[in-house]
Structure 1
């Protein structure tokens, strides 16, 4: 046997030396990356970077009402089921097909039946490991479920499963992938007969962070939009219709408004349909209870459901639009003190529809078609809208009577008697709408008016058969104001006749108004209205002063002229009800002008004239706890802020990802902040948090029950107390501008008033427990496509009346203490860098007192911390020090003054939160190494030792080999 030749010293040392060098380099890189993302790693493991000395266990400023985590969790499960139960919307119920009643044998159809949508993707993800599935909840109500069919879907699921959008995907592949009928075995088909009392079919559509829904599916699925039925779903429904089931019930498991015309197609034989949205952790139990009849659905739609989901004017300019010279805009950048700041900005979206979003379009054009005004064309409401905004049925019937309307100075009082005229108990909703006059002044000044706008609502208690409740709704006169951007340049109250009406939905309310005006079906109405459910109130003069000054005493005037597309392109028109046909939007193709390119590339003004460098590092002997309960403008804040060093201030402002950092000089412990639009979630950043995932925000809104959502908010606050989370990145306040927005699940509605009422109630509840809410995404983040850096153009009236309204209500009525800005631009300016938005409107007009954080700051370096802090955005949602570009300005008086005020705002929120529990004025905070860094050091030592041993071994082997060769010689 031939003896193996030994490696030479050079080869041996070179090979193993290279291996050790690679290990060393990898170790250095791993340490650098870990330290760069220390914030998020610390949060993920639930470790701490500080130690409390002289803590005071009796210093409890916010206390839980629950003795244990388990008690709270059980309360959350019950609330989850209650909210889902009140948010379920009964869309169809032919011949009282529902409820099914006791002891049914049912078959559950579609791949989605075994793969339900419980929330959204990204920050809206729900941990389904402990959530019940559809089969279980129907068995829980005593039903027998077709196990053969269930197992068939489960067995096929790897092959046929929905492709859900993902925040981490560069481009999502939207697909339903419903199992084809050809795959159903004879055994499966034979099982239908044994479980034939009812077929329950789930139609599901997912949405999530990072992408909007597809408007073009693959041809293999029919080539339609994501919100239509696919070929395979149609074939499945036809199979079900021909299989002899006693009843066919459809569950709509989607938070986006689908095209539901198929519900009325004879070939599918559908008897009933319930919209369920996304049910959260335990809401699915309510779905089964409603189908059986233990729960009577009382939800109402928060969006308009059109037969054609592409029919709205907003859909004409939505999604991925790019300037024809976009390549020139991709890397616009400027250098500040050697720091390169990049302002990517080749994408745009134009809200050319103005205020005509959702029902404000569909109902207003309907009225003009009835009245023969506004060049409405051949618009046919009945074939356009299937389910109007506010629509919802019940297992019982209600009669509304004795409508009264009483002006009371700054308010109007509306009362309605609601009587349960059916045979089972149930709840109903009273919806109040108003109509403003559309005057010559409006037409001359570009002011648009919707035919109906929601201005008040209330949900009844549970009414027994024959029981009557008198419902009172107070309407603030301020709701009648409109924004006049061209004439008075402020809010006005038009002269003329205002109509108020109640109705089961927006369309019925409008028909009641039309009836009061004398119109009937002979004029083209879809149904005769009831003039007794409407009232007229007249404003005798044009009022341009009453609403021109805010509650804070600040004059309200235009702030968003540069966000108007006409600022750069004067010839572009917005949709107007004066000429529907002539101004209906077409997809805009824009070439960026030189002025626009300059504005997209513009950096912040850092000039120091008029500024004095603030005091830093003083020894005033104060601690953060001494400021608990002090007003934001208390002089003591100056003394406290004087103690902070420049590095402390910059760190507090720049590293605000999932926390606010500790500040040792003032003994401030910091806070832990978490995501999750429907409850505090650890899906993205860990931390071991066990909190309830409630039904999606759109389901919350569909309850139309403000007090219930307030109670839900209290439980979310309790979750924060029990899990150590003090700041919550929610609720989200953006608008369902179109049915295709990826995050419609975590936004309340297409209507700002409804969204604002729900948001304010939830915020009040959460913050009552000392957990501050970051209402988001401020503002105009109404699509996910190109959300990072897209220039969003809209006019001032639409911005204020449609898109800012939910935020305004949540601040002025809800008392929100924190705000998260958005990735997009307002016009050419990044939202976080828009002083008009953050300072002039939010703080000055609305009286916001608290702090503002950006949305997550990652790769897109147009998100400049310097630009943000100078525009009133206090903190960066950043987990990496690499995104900090303020340090070069440590000696700039202007910048450091802004940084100091940002710290003031951050600390004001923090010291008045549950983060101060256990801390008093004698408590001191000292830094400690988080446990994971101890692990890392230990790992480094072990690897370094192994490398050293390796080097020694290499040297010894080479010496030994050299000695052996020398001996032979």
Structure 2
């Protein structure tokens, strides 16, 4: 039997199929080239390639120099500092009967799926490369402990089935799930192992936050249906299993979360928890400090940077948080954009109203407590002790400290506060001295809508290591400016009220407030939950209302209302903010809004491109100045104008419009440009690669929990060193928005609920980084305190809250930290995109605070809402854009107003670059020449190969058809 002869394709079929295939290949190559060239900047950054060649480089021209001769030496310094930050940021929350430290040579069991899957950082730009980080078992073994291998392997073996779901920046909505192993899954062999490793059960409770989404307030019913910050059903079962086993001498909880969890279970007898340490996210090497603290080689000295309430939903801000949409949101569809046609990225439909005003975090809980004690303000049956578990600033130690000899000495426009701290315990340790003030809440305030917190942080310091019996005198200077309040309705500037001001030291904010109340003669008999110490408080009197002293900035700029249109009352006049004059009557409720015509018009408003009063700037002049000639020169030096005259219109457009993860090179002034990277806890290659390998420090919230400004300045310095060694000159950090609620997805990369603490930490970190010539883009400017609908959400707040709560960290980082770059935020302030908010950027940032440097947007996905034209006209100098398509300035190259704004933006960018490590190796004779990055050479070779393949394929089709036709012709002639 013969095989069937396969039928040959006809010429028409052959040509059609293979011709179509070649056509598809050709189109694919064309599209690939278009996409690659459109995103050329980020591809170049990812591969770490260069677009320039330096001629006449000068290796001796080093303006910022590393003190580390090798990368390895720097890396080891980073590892050591990372561990130190975690050691000083650990907060001992509970320690019944001195359960900790455990001491030497213990046998322990590590519990929870999270024990084998710790959180080292956040997600998105906050991710930490854990491939070289030690796990929990290893660090406990490093301190000489034996760790239960049966239990560890059980969790490892089950990990595919029970894995915590961490939020992802790329998800439209995240599936928050803990997925703890149910108690019924523990095998008998695992249960039998408990007694062999029963010195302590060490339980890890982890909660992850990340960029792009806020934490869930409604978990799956399988996990108990509560919020993400509560224990799940399976975690409760696990704790009960530990207790019921009777195998463990002690139960220790490690809180591996940067968001304030509900920890009431620590006090429940049914779980028998002996001690708890809050560890946050430990970064690359901080985990070693956790094991050292459990053993006793480290004495925890961190203090909380947030209020921990029994009910995480009790904060007034929780009533207006997350996804709120105008009832007529469909009428705003024209303001929304889709990303790759899939999901709404930039929307005009959403809003959030900060109806709580200044009463964020402890400012709410403590102020309402005082009013309840004093029987004023309609405080109702407010029970502080049942509401707040751990106050802001709380933290224990393995030793005890006493305070004495508190003094407050007014000296001109400053107060010198000092006290003696003595270690009265039995082991060495560090103490955090916290200093607070209270300003009078007067009739003027009540009549003019000025709100006052009953207590505010105004200073702090950390002692050195004190041996038992050793004392240290701590002295802190407080500027009188810290006592000011913002009067938005009458004086329309900062004021200093007439009346009595109190200063107090305390172990935490609540302790300090009780000391203030004690100095007023109040005791527990008056409703206080504990007697204070009047000796730790002092009083100072301001005789008259002062509306002048703080009505102008140090720059000479008058300070007055700038955010009236960000106040929801601008559009809806009848809305009431929370006031301590009437707690119960004004407590926030979820606000439902219908967008008014006025609001819709403002949401859709575009930039003014009118040219009246503007003249076209000089461009493309033939002078021969280079940026290296401007190093160290004043921002106002007239030679800047000559240099700027050399820029061409195309160079200006490119420098402003294409600033994603770099600043562009400018050949006409021999500027090499910079590489800019992300990473809130250290320079990171997570999002854009580039081969940068730098230290990941503990999360910013852990840094703040150290309450050690000098230590965080050192963190900044080593991050700057990482920049020098890795060729990174701009760092998209630190982030310093506010922990408005416990549920913000990015609380891990923001310092605190308190602006003063965040500002002090931000200023320290920024000054340390910039000491090494790496400029910091402090972010996200401003009022970007939630992730839900962050891209376009209209954020409404009043002027007092904006200035006193949300702008304070940025202000301190500029005025006292010297920040030379700023990143604006995705959200709107009122109806106006933050990057297009001229009042924010020019009147406040530059006018009031004296900022000199450049401003970049947050990442630009589409160019309509995030308009480069709107941004540059408002004082936002550069677009964090990696796509050549996201550039809508070119059509205005003949517009005098736009080109004048471009010129100013270029000056700001170049000024920052001239005074950075980007100029290392560049002298006045150095010239920059453009070259193709290596990947584009690869692309050309690829195109040549594909072109040859397509031509060869086409030729093959032609020859086959021709051969067949010739054969047919021959046959026909026969």
The TM-score bracket by the shorter chain reads over 0.9
Query: Are the counterparts in 1 of residues 346 and 791 from structure 2 also a CA contact under 8 Å?
Result: no
Question: Per the alignment, in what secondary structure is the counterpart of residue 926 of structure 1?
Answer: strand
Q: Which residue of 2 aligns with 1:491?
A: 494
- Residue 963 of structure 1 and its aligned partner are, at CA, apart by 2.8
What's the counterpart of residue 648 of structure 2?
645
Q: Which residue of 2 aligns with 1:89?
A: 91
TM-score norm. by structure 2 comes to: 0.98
TM-fit CA distance, 1:471: 0.5
Q: Partner of 2:258 in structure 1?
A: 255
Quote the Cα distance in structure 2 between the aligned partners of 1:46 and 1:18.
37
Please give the alpha-carbon distance, in whole angstroms, between the structure 2 residues aligned to 1:831 and 1:481: 26
Q: Is the 8 A contact 2:863 2:887 kept in 1?
A: no
Q: Secondary structure in 2 aligned to 1:194?
A: helix
Aligned residue for 2:211?
209
Q: Distance in 2 between matches of 1:355 and 1:896?
A: 40
CA distance in 2, matches of 1:653, 1:877: 9
- Kindly indicate whether residue 60 of structure 2 is the aligned counterpart of residue 71 of structure 1: no
Q: Work out the CA distance in 2 between the residues paired with 1:535 and 1:220.
A: 54
Residue 798, structure 1, aligned to residue 782, structure 2: no
TM-score of the pair, normalised by structure 1: 0.99
Instruction: Find 1:908's aligned residue among 902, 908, 911.
Output: 911
Residue 621 of structure 1 corresponds to: 624
Aligned counterpart in structure 2 of residue 728 of structure 1, from 714, 720, 731: 731
Equivalent residue for 1:558?
Answer: 561
Among 535, 552, 561, which residue is 1:549 paired with? 552
Equivalent residues in 2 for 1:517-556 (5 A)? 517-556=520-559
- Cα deviation per residue 1:481-500 (whole Å; 9 max; x = unaligned)? 00000010000000001011
Q: Is the 8 A contact 1:558 1:796 kept in 2?
A: yes
What secondary structure sits across from 2:458 in the alignment?
Answer: strand
Task: Please say if 1:809 is aligned against 2:833.
Answer: no
Kindly report which structure 2 residues correspond to 1:404-483, keeping only aligned pairs within 5 A, or say none.
404-483=407-486
2:140 aligned partner = 138
Instruction: Find the aligned partners of 1:30 and 1:861 in 2 and give their Cα distance.
Output: 24
In the alignment, the residues of structure 2 paired with residue 968 and residue 237 of structure 1 have an alpha-carbon distance, to the nearest angstrom, of 90
C-alpha separation in 2, matches of 1:123 and 1:615:
40
Counterpart CA distance in 2 for 1:520 and 1:965 is 113
Structure-2 residue corresponding to 1:161: 163
Residue pairs, 1:746-895, within 5 angstroms: 746-859=749-862, 861-895=864-898
Q: Distance in 2 between matches of 1:869 and 1:600?
A: 18
Q: Does the Cα contact within 8 Å between 1:344 and 1:860 map onto a contact in 2? A: no
Q: 1:440 deviation in Å?
A: 0.7
Q: CA deviation at 1:409?
A: 1.3
Report deviation, 1:964. Answer: 3.1
**Aligned partners of 1:343 and 1:600 also within 8 Å:** no
* Structure 1 equivalent of residue 964 of structure 2: 961
Stretches of structure 1 that go unaligned for 5 or more consecutive residues are 335-341
- 2-structure distance, mates of 1:763, 1:879: 26
SS class of match (1:431): strand
In structure 1, the partner of 2:927 is 924
| Residue 112 of structure 1 pairs with residue 114 of structure 2 | yes
Report how far residue 957 of structure 1 moved. Answer: 1.4
Aligned to 2:938: 935
Q: Distance in 2 between matches of 1:938 and 1:578?
A: 74
State the Cα distance separating 1:881 from its structure 2 match.
1.2
> Which residue matches 1:52?
54
CA distance in 2 between counterparts of 1:351 and 1:231 reads: 33
Deviation at 1:343, TM superposition (A): 7.5
Distance between the aligned counterparts of 1:967 and 1:103, measured in 2? Answer: 96
Deviation for aligned residue 1:330:
2.3
Summarize deviations over 1:329-370 as a string: whole Å, max 9, x none.
121499xxxxxxx97310000000000000000000000000
Task: Give SS of 2:270's match.
Answer: helix
1:285-684 equivalences in 2 (<5 Å): 285-332=288-335, 344-684=347-687
Q: CA deviation at 1:170?
A: 1.2
Q: Is the 8 A contact 1:625 1:911 kept in 2?
A: yes
Q: Give the structure 1 partner of residue 101 of structure 2.
A: 99
Provide the secondary structure at the position in 1 that maps to 2:253. Answer: strand
Structure 1 residues 510-519 or 797-806, which shifts more? 510-519
| Alignment partners' CA distance in 2, 1:682 and 1:16 | 42
Matched position secondary structure for 2:659: coil
Corresponding residue SS for 2:621: coil
Q: What is the aligned partner in structure 2 of residue 194 from structure 1?
A: 196
- CA deviation digits over 1:344-399, x for unaligned, max 9? 31000000000000000000000000000000011100000000000000000111
Deviation at residue 953 of structure 1 after TM alignment: 1.0
Contact 1:60 1:918 in 2 (8 A): yes
Displacement after TM superposition at 1:966 (Å): 3.5
Segments ≥4 residues shifted beyond 6 Å: none
Alignment partner, residue 338 of structure 1: none
Q: Structure 2: state its 5+ residue gaps.
A: 338-344
| Cα pair 1:788 1:860 within 8 Å, conserved | no
Cα distance in 2, alignment partners of residues 445 and 619 from structure 1: 59
Q: How far, CA to CA, are the matches of 1:144 and 1:593 in structure 2? A: 66
1:337 corresponds to which residue?
none
Give the one of 176, 179, 182 matched to 1:180.
182
Q: Are the equivalent residues in 1 in contact too, given 2:485–2:804 (CA < 8 A)?
A: yes
